[in-house]
Structure 1
């Protein structure tokens, strides 16, 4: 691949449906056509030096919790047609075994995460910015379902983080960039067809513009 990739930034707060949106979007492309870099894999590990109680109150929703230098360098490497190897982040669970991710360069590079528009050096490289927007009460329900069922947090822990960490971070580090985005996707429904339709439209447009299809 001699040309630089077309870089898509997908930003959304917790509970905005980024995971499902990405799943639907990626189904339109082969592994040779698209690669993904997720901000979540660049959290600075802290579990080994905190008690369980400290871990509960640690604020992950701040830019400084991300290893920005590593995050940015891996994006640059992919732009320069270099393969990236990265340990998968295990969401601060010291008992979990992470796997090594192999990210191969491709004509389309997707960068996703909460702070990607706040990180100026990354934002400037994006060719297309997609903002996933969800009403706060809908996003909270999704967050509760995920953290209670998948990560074993208590209801009180989730609500504490939501009101003290998640919402303030969204309003400070993401919402101000909403109007600078090329596409705003409102995702308040549990109906999969809505997101599937939107990703169909965006993918068809990209395939036409990038691959002449």
Structure 2
């Protein structure tokens, strides 16, 4: 198989990256595009040092099994199928699934640190950066963590202030101006994201057609 066309997608917490990915992938069949997510390469929390308040910091490059993440991306480059256990964010109520990631002409690599990891960044053909103003991003994060995941409000705010924002400023924001496309997603209008993904999909179909 020829080298895939590699799209890197990163975004701040609350930027709408999950919806963007879903909308984007819906334009293609499974044999046309494949997704590999940094989130499935977290090092288990019980192997890490706790902070004084007993909250783990998942927003550091060292929280990811960087070597395995890169090795699996390279396997997809070589036309190999990757098998990886799903990461369940240490939720004991979820039985992790075995993920099968198949090579495809379009490879989407997503995650907070994909531009910071030089070995991953140099493999990318096209870089997309999703962003949102901090008050809007925080509101979305609170909505997700408090309502959908049932987290404690003080824990969410502590992580936002001490983990999420500092990590974004150090490991993601410096790469924004180097990206091919920057999407400022400050409105909760799905059509805005869908319009972007429609345009990108049309261009990609020309490339792989």
TM-score, normalisation: structure 2: 0.95
Q: Secondary structure at the match of 2:200?
A: helix
Shift of 1:148: 1.0
CA distance in 1, matches of 2:204, 2:172: 25
**1:117 and 1:181, CA in 2 relative to 1: closer, same or farther beyond 3 A?**
same
Is the alpha carbon distance of 1:48 and 1:117 closer, same or farther for their aligned partners in structure 2, counting shifts above 3 Å?
A: closer
Q: Kindly provide the CA deviation profile for residues 87-117 of structure 1, in whole angstroms up to 9, marking residues without a partner as x.
A: 1100122342100000000000000010000
Equivalence for 1:29: 28
Verify the 8 A CA contact 1:42 1:67 in the aligned structure 2: yes
- What does residue 38 of structure 1 align with? 37
Give the match's secondary structure for 2:123.
coil
Tell me by how many angstroms 1:56 deviates.
Answer: 5.3
Q: 1:54 offset after TM fit, Å? A: 7.0
State the SS of the aligned residue for 1:203: helix
Tell me, in whole angstroms, the C-alpha distance in 2 between the residues paired with 1:198 and 1:71.
Answer: 27
Deviation at 1:150, TM superposition (A): 2.5
Secondary structure of the structure 2 residue equivalent to 1:174 = helix
1:81 is displaced (CA, Å) by 0.3
Alpha-carbon distance in 2 for matches of 1:29, 1:60: 31
RMSD: 1.7
| Residue ranges of structure 1 left out of the alignment (5+ in a row) | none
- Is the CA contact 1:47–1:55 (under 8 Å) kept in the aligned structure 2? no
TM-superposed deviation, 1:208: 1.5
Determine whether 1:117 maps to 2:115: yes
SS state at 1:28 partner: coil
**Aligned equivalents of 1:32 and 1:210: distance in 2?**
12
